[in-house]
Amino acid sequence: MQRDILKIRSVLLTWLSSSLLLISFTSLQAQQQMDEIDSKVNQLLSEMTLEEKVGQMTQITLGVLAKGGHADERPEPVELNPAALDSAFNIYKIGSVLNTVNNRARTLEWWKATIDELQERSIKATGIPIIFGIDAIHGNTYTAESTLYPQQIGQGATFNPELIKQLNAITAYEMRASNIPWTFSPVQDMGRDPRDPRFWETYGEDVLLCQTLGAAAVKGIEGEETITDPYHGASCLKHYLAYNSNSGKDRNPLDISVRELKERHAASFQAAIDAGAKTIMVNSGLINGYPVHANYEILTQLLRNEMGFSGMLVTDWADIENLHNRDKVASSHKEAVKLAINAGIDMSMVPYNYRFCEYLIELVQEGEVSMERIDEATARILRLKYELGLFEKPTTDFADYPEFRSEAFEKTATNAALESITLLKNKEGILPLPKSAKVLVTGPNANSMRPLNGGWSYSWQGEKVEEFAQEYHTFLEAIEHKIGKENVSYEEGVSYDMEGKYYEEFSMDLDAVIQAAATVDYVLLFLGENTYCEKPGDLHDLYISDNQTQLAKALAKTGKPVILILNEGRPRIISKFEYLMAGVLQTYLPGNYGGDALAEIIFGDACPSGKLPYTYPMFPNSLITYDYKPSEKQERLEGLYNYESEVAIQYEFGYGLSYTTFEYSNFKVDRKTLSPEKPLQVSIEVKNTGEMMAKEVVMLYTSDRYASISPDNRRLRAFEKIELKPGETKTVSFKVSVQDLAFYNRNNQLVTEAGEFIFEINGHQASLHLEKDQRFDEPSKLKL
C-alpha cells in the first residue's frame, strides 16, 4: 500500500514538474516573440518620417476611397478610385481603413479584391500594410452569407462563457475569410439603463457577467497565442469608459464618482484587458463635463498606469472633430487634435478627410505635441500589425476558409439562440404546446427577419436585412415548418413602417385578428421593436407602443390563451397587459436562427435555459438594477410613509423558468470565517427532478451586511451553467476570495472591510465573518 502511494506521488510530481516546465517554456517563447516584434518595431520606427508616422495614426472610411466620393449611394458595383488611393497612400500614407461602402454587406469576392488592392497600394507606398477594421458585432456583420447569431444582450442571457468564446471564434474565422483582421467588438459597457438605444449591444447589467463573457469573447476573437494565426484577429473593447450609463440617450453626458467608475465600469474592461484585448475604442460622450477623448486622466492615468493596458487606443467615429464641432472644448480643429493626442489617443477614426494629418504634423513641428508621443502611438499600431502577421501575410483568401457558414457554425448559432431564449411566465404549465395545436401567429415581429437580427446586421440600422436573409425562417415560417401550415393562421395586426423610423407603425385590421383567434386553440403574439442603432434609437417612452398594447388587450378578451413572445433590444414595459398573458417568452435579438430555435422551445423539442441579464422594469419611473442600494428600497415607516417594502420590477435579474424542475440541496461552505490567505469553497448539489434534459444556471450571490460605503443589495460573485438528465444530480463548486468581495471606499482604495457576509445560492444561505479589514491597492490617483 505504502509503495503504491509512493508511486502515485512520484507520478504526480513528475507530471507537475513537466507541466511547470511546459508553462515556463511557453511563457519564455511568448516573451521571445514579443521581444522580436519590439525589435522590428523599433527598427522600422527609426526609419520612418514624421509624415509616415502620422499617417499610421490615421484611419479613413472606405467610402472616401471609392468612386462617387461622399455620396450616400454610390453606383453599384462599387469600385475604388485611383486618384483617391493615390492621395491616401502616396501623399498622406494612411495606416488604417474601416467600414463598408453604401452601408451594405459585401460578398467574399468583393472583400478579397478590394482589400487586396488597398494592401498593394499601401505596401508599395510605405512598405507597411494597412489594418482594416469592421463592426463585426454578432457575426461578421458586413459579409453576405456570414453566420449571424444572437446580439450581445442575448448572449448575456446564455450565461455560458464557453459558448460566447465559440461564437466569437466563428466571427474571427469568417472575418479573416473576408480579408479583414480587426473587429470593433465586444462592447464592455454595461446595460444598466434600459432606455439606452445601445442596451442590446451589451451583455447586461452585471459587472461579473460582463467581465466573464467579455473575456471569453476576446479569447474567441484573438485565440490564445501572442502571434495571431490566420483564423483569428484583433478585438476592440468599446466604448471606454461608462458609455450611456444613466441618461437613456445615446452619447449624453455622465456625472460619476471615481469610486463608481472604477468599481463597476473599469472592472468590466479590466477582465477583457487581462484576457489580452489588443485594442480599445473610446467613449464618445462626456464624463463630469469633459469629453473622454480629451481626458488624460481616463485615457492614460487610469487605462495605462492603473489598469495596465498596453495595446492600441482608437477614437470612435469623428470624435476628435467633435471636440470642436459638438462638445465646444476646443476652439479649433487643430486644438482638438492636440487635446486628443496628448490625452493618449493612438489612432484617429477621422473618417472623411486628411486635416488630422496636416494639423498633427504642424503641432509636432510647433512643439505642441512631442515626438515621443508620436513614436509611442505609432509603435503601438506597428506592434499590432506585426502581432496580426500582416507584414508577413497582409491578405487572406476565402478559398482557404472552407468552414465559412458551415453546418457546424450554424449549429453553434442555433444553440446560442436556444440557450438565450428566456421563459418568463408559464401559467399553469401551458408551455410547451402540443404539435397538434391550432395556433394564430400575430404581431409586427412575427414575419420579418429584420427584428430577429436588429441593428449591425448587413447594414448599420439593420434596414437591409430582408435583402440578405430571405433563406432563413421568420418566427412564422419556423412555426409552420414545425407543426405544418395547415395548423397555423396568420394575421399581422400591427406592422412597422419599414421605410420610416424604427418606432413608426401601422395599425391593421384588428377585427380580422379577433376573427382568426376564434378558430384556433392558442394565440402566439409577437411584439417588440423594429431595428435601430445608436442615436436613431433614442426613445421618449419605455412603454411598448400603444398599437401593440391595444392588440394584446384585444386578443386577451377573446378568451383564448395568449403566449406573448418578445423580440426586442431593450425591455419595453408590458405591465399594462402582462397579467393577461398565459405565457411570456423573451427572445431578445436572436439572429438568423432565432425563428427555428423558438419553434423548438414552444413545441417542446428543447427546454428553455436563458436567464435575464438585466432587471425587467414594471414602470418607466421604477428603473433599477438588482444591485441597488438599501435606500432605493422603500421601507414602510409606521406613521410616516405607506410605501411597500419592495422595488417595482416585472422580472428580476437572473430570472428564467424551465420546462423541468431543479432541486437544490446540501449547500456547504468549507469554513465559518473568511481568510485572506485561502479562498472560500462553496458547493451545492443540483438535481433535475423533472422529465426533460435541461440546462440550469447556478448563481452565487453575496451581501455585505454593513460597510463604510452603503453596500449593494447583493452582488453576483460566481455562476456556472450545467446540463442535467432527468434524475441526474451534479455538485457545483465555487471559490471566492476575500478580494472578490472588495469595493472602493471613500478614499478610492480597494478594500474588503471586516464584518458579516451572506453567501446565497437559490435560497440556501450561510453567514461568514471577516475579522480584519483587507486592503488590496493604494488609493487611486485618478482625478475627475
Active site residues: 316
What values do phi and psi take at 326, rounded to 5?
Answer: -110, -50
Contacts 24+ apart (CB under 8 A), 765-771: 765/667, 766/667, 766/669, 766/682, 768/669, 768/671, 768/672, 768/673, 768/674, 768/680, 769/672, 769/673, 769/674, 770/673, 770/674, 770/738, 770/741, 771/673
- Looking at residue 678, the DSSP 8-state letter turns out to be B
Find the length of the chain: 784
Q: Which three cell numbers stand for residue 718?
A: 460566481
Residue position matching grid coordinates 424542475: 661
> What one-character-per-residue DSSP string does 504-545 give?
-EEE--HHHHHHHHTT-SEEEEEEE-----SGGG--S--BPP
Whether cis (ω within 30° of 0) applies to the bond prior to 351 is yes
- Looking at residue 692, the DSSP 8-state letter turns out to be S
What's the CA gap between 487 and 479, in Å, rounded?
9
Find all residues with CB under 8 Å of 284, minimum gap 6, and list them.
239, 243, 251, 292, 293, 316, 317, 319, 322
Taking residue 559's Cβ as centre, other Cβ atoms within 10 Å add up to: 9
- Reduced to 3 states (helix: H, G, I; strand: E, B; else coil), residue 568 is coil
β-strands 182-183, 131-134: how paired?
parallel
Q: What angle do CA 41, 43, 44 make, to 5 degrees?
A: 65
The separation between the first and the last C-alpha atoms of the chain, rounded to the nearest angstrom, is: 66
Burial of residue 731 (CB within 10 Å: 0-12, 13-18, 19+) is exposed
Closest to 383 measured CA to CA, from 59, 131, 55, 125: 131
Q: Which three cell numbers stand for residue 699?
A: 448563481
Are 753 and 710 in contact by the 8 Å Cβ rule? The answer is no
Closest to 707 measured CA to CA, from 617, 630, 616: 630
